C-alpha cells in the first residue's frame, strides 16, 4: 500500500510567523517576495529551519504542498529546506469556502481522492476535523500547528506514529 499523503502548509508550521525571533533556535531568516503577497513593496520575513526538510522526508508519507505559496513553495521554500520539487495543491480564494470551513479543507479532501492523509496547518479548526471525519472516506489526521511555535518534535513524533496505526486497522489480527 502506498503511503498516505501529508499536506504541508508553509506559514504557521514551517514559518512560525507569530513566534518571537529570539525563541526560534535553528531557524534562518529570509526576505522573500512571493507573487501572492499582498504588500508587494515590502518583502516578507520568512523564518525556516533547514533541518525540517530532512525530518519531513524521513516521515512515511508522500509530501504535497498545501499553501497559498502554491508553486512558489517549490522555488522559494523547498530549496532552503533541501526538499525536492513536490506536488502542489492549487487553492481557491479565501472567500470560496462553504459550511464555515477553512478554505483549504474541501479542496484537500478532493485532491486526496479517497486516500488517507495527514495535514499540518495553523488554520485547522474543530469544524474542519468534524467535516473531514464525516465526508472523507479514508482516515484523516488534521493536525493544527501553533504559528507561535511551528513544527516541533512532538509533531514529528505524532506524524511518524499515525500511519502504523492505520496499517493495524487495515490488517486486523
Ligand atoms: Mg498557514
Q: Quick count: other Cβ atoms within 10 Å of Cβ 115?
A: 17
**Does domain 5-168 correspond to CATH entry 2.60.40?**
no
Tens-digit pLDDT string for the chain (173 aa) = 579 999 999 999 999 999 998 889 999 999 998 887 777 678 899 999 999 999 999 999 999 999 999 999 999 999 999 999 999 999 987 666 777 899 999 999 999 999 999 999 999 999 999 999 999 999 999 999 999 999 999 999 999 999 866 665 555 44
Q: How many angstroms separate the alpha carbon of residue 3 from the centre of ligand 1?
A: 24
Q: How many angstroms separate the alpha carbon of residue 9 from the centre of ligand 1?
A: 6
Q: How many angstroms separate the alpha carbon of residue 171 from the centre of ligand 1?
A: 35
The answer to whether 13 and 6 have CB atoms below 8 angstroms apart is no
Q: What is the pLDDT of residue 81?
A: 98
Q: What is the pLDDT of residue 78?
A: 98
Q: How many angstroms separate the alpha carbon of residue 99 from the centre of ligand 1?
A: 20
Q: What is the pLDDT of residue 173?
A: 43
Range 154-159 contact pairs with CB under 8 angstroms and sequence separation of 24 or more: 155/13, 155/120, 156/55, 156/59, 159/6, 159/59, 159/61, 159/118, 159/120
Amino acid at each position: 500500500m502506498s503511503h498516505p499523503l501529508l499536506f504541508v502548509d508553509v506559514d504557521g508550521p514551517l514559518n512560525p510567523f507569530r513566534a518571537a525571533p529570539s525563541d526560534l533556535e535553528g531557524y534562518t531568516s529570509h526576505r522573500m517576495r512571493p507573487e501572492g503577497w499582498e504588500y508587494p513593496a515590502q518583502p516578507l520575513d520568512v523564518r525556516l529551519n533547514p533541518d525540517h526538510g530532512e525530518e519531513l522526508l524521513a516521515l512515511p508519507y508522500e509530501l504535497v504542498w498545501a499553501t497559498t505559496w502554491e508553486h512558489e513553495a517549490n522555488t522559494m521554500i523547498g530549496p532552503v529546506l533541501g526538499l525536492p520539487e513536490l506536488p502542489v495543491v492549487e487553492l481557491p480564494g479565501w472567500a470560496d469556502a462553504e459550511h464555515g470551513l477553512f478554505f483549504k479543507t474541501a479542496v484537500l479532501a478532493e485532491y486526496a481522492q479517497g486516500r488517507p492523509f495527514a495535514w499540518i496547518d495553523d488554520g485547522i479548526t474543530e469544524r474542519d476535523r468534524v467535516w473531514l471525519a464525516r465526508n472523507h472516506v479514508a482516515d484523516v489526521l488534521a493536525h493544527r500547528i501553533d504559528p507561535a511555535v511551528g513544527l516541533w518534535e512532538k509533531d514529528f513524533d505524532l506524524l511518524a506514529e499515525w500511519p502504523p496505526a492505520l496499517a493495524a486497522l487495515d490488517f486486523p489480527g
